[in-house]
Amino acid sequence: MDEIWDAGTAPSSTIQGADDSIRIDKVVRWGLAALQEQPLLVVLGGLNVVMVLFVPGLLSTPISAAISVAAELDEGLIQAVDIAVSLGLNLLAWPVQTLVLAGLISGIGRYIARDEVSIASLYTSFGGALRALLYGVFSSVVTLFVYFLFLAPGLAACFGAVMTMESDESTAILLTLLGAVLVLAGIVAFVPISLGLVLGIVPAVLDGAGPFEALALSWEAARGNRLHLLGIVFLFGLCSFIGACCCYLPAAPVYGVHYAGLTAAWLRYSRPDEVTTGWRFFRDHGT
């Protein structure tokens, strides 16, 4: 287990830290502070994540093209091969992505809590990666279930509108309006639920939390902080997109700062004040 602090301070029993730690301004401030103090750790960790995220997309087209040419496939089968290759590469990349993301969180956690810089932890956090992978599978199942639970009625209404368009136009219009309302309501309900799962990977890596406990901790931490979490997701998502449009490499520090800030916020939130206020990182960069 990738422990980085003394026994008895893990948050699985009672959250004792600062309730205002999960804020967009603090996540950005702490993430940038980590980048300023340890640029190699933050940028290299972010670069690992970027490489695993975008390499499958870069390899998908040439691999599927080579298969199609070698097998002399027709147009319909070529599209099927494209989808199969892309899906296969992304499935293969998921465990690797989880490993490097767990390494980034673990490395930042060690630095904040102990002032230890371990580049090796970026590649050796296998226990944390396994727990993060289990949490990722579990949270994905929950997310898909909620997605279909809330959006399926609206999509069904829209499908019914298409089917009745020629036979009964007025009914089709009503079904279209109903479907649009239901889909919008589904999105409104889906977003806060998804935001409640954002932080779970951090306690999974740092605290040895299993999937159920990590979800419960993430959900509790998101209470009252969903607007800040939405801002964090939007801000770093936008910056990552812009970086990806510029040959991918600028996205590396964005991912590093993102998860450095989230890791700092989780440690400050979940640990007792008397513990975190004694850490040099928070003394220098505020609590």
Q: What string of DSSP letters covers the chain?
A: ----S-TT--TTS---S-TT---HHHHHHHHHHHHHH-HHHHHHHHHHHHHHHHHHHHHHHHHHHHHHHHHT--HHHHHHHHHHHHHHHHHHHHHHHHHHHHHHHHHHHHHHHH----TTHHHH-HHHHHHHHHHHHHHHHHHHHHHHHHHHHHHHHHHHHHHHTTT-HHHHHHHHHHHHHHHHHHHHHHHHHHHTTGGGHHHHHHS---HHHHHHHHHHHHTTTHHHHHHHHHHHHHHHHHHHHTTSTTHHHHHHHHHHHHHHHHHHHHS-HHHHTTSHHHHHH--
Please report, for the chain, the start and end positions of each structural domain, with discontinuous segments joined by +: 24-285
Mean pLDDT, the chain, integer: 82
pLDDT (0 to 100) of residue 76: 63
Lowest mean pLDDT segment, chosen from 8-12, 92-96, 105-109:
8-12
Q: Is the model's pLDDT at 124 over the cut of 60?
A: yes
Lowest mean pLDDT segment, chosen from 32-46, 72-86, 193-207:
72-86
Burial 137-162 (b: 16+ CB within 10 A, else e): ebbeebeeebeeebbebbeebbebbe
pLDDT range class, residue 74, cuts 50, 70, 90: low
pLDDT (0 to 100) of residue 27: 95
pLDDT (0 to 100) of residue 279: 92
pLDDT (0 to 100) of residue 1: 41
When comparing pLDDT for 83 and 233, which is higher? 233
pLDDT range class, residue 5, cuts 50, 70, 90: very low
Distance CA 154, CA 142 (A): 19
> What mean pLDDT is predicted for residues 42-69?
77
pLDDT (0 to 100) of residue 6: 47
Q: Is the model's pLDDT at 61 over the cut of 80?
A: no
Q: Is the model's pLDDT at 134 over the cut of 70?
A: yes
